[in-house]
Amino acid sequence: MKNGKEQKTVTIIVEGTPHDWPKKQEITYAELIALEVPDYSQHPEITYSVKFTKGNGNKPAGVLAPGGSVKVKEGMIFNVSETGQS
């Protein structure tokens, strides 16, 4: 048994840009937006719409709401768009 467990990753696509993410982990609404909008935390007045496709079998597509999360899968695609003020 190995002690130095190597963490496997999957590649997810956020607005056309590939990102590595730990396999078998969830990604949150805030983490997704931070990948696309690095200064997201400095602008809490802006809200975003997060949609995904190519997800897991029980939920292959959908919308991620603020505070929500979704389990990642290799090749999963996320679209992040600004929706204006909350």
CA distance 40 to 48: 10
Amino acid 79 reads N
pLDDT in tens, the chain (86 residues): 444 567 799 999 999 999 999 998 999 999 999 999 989 888 888 889 999 999 988 889 999 999 999 999 999 999 999 986 54
Tokens 């496709």, residue located: 53
pTM of the predicted protein model? 0.85
Strand, helix or coil for residue 67: coil
Backbone torsions φ then ψ of 13, nearest 5 degrees: -110, 120
At 77 the pLDDT is 98
Distances (CA, A) of 65 to 3, 32, 48: 37, 11, 9
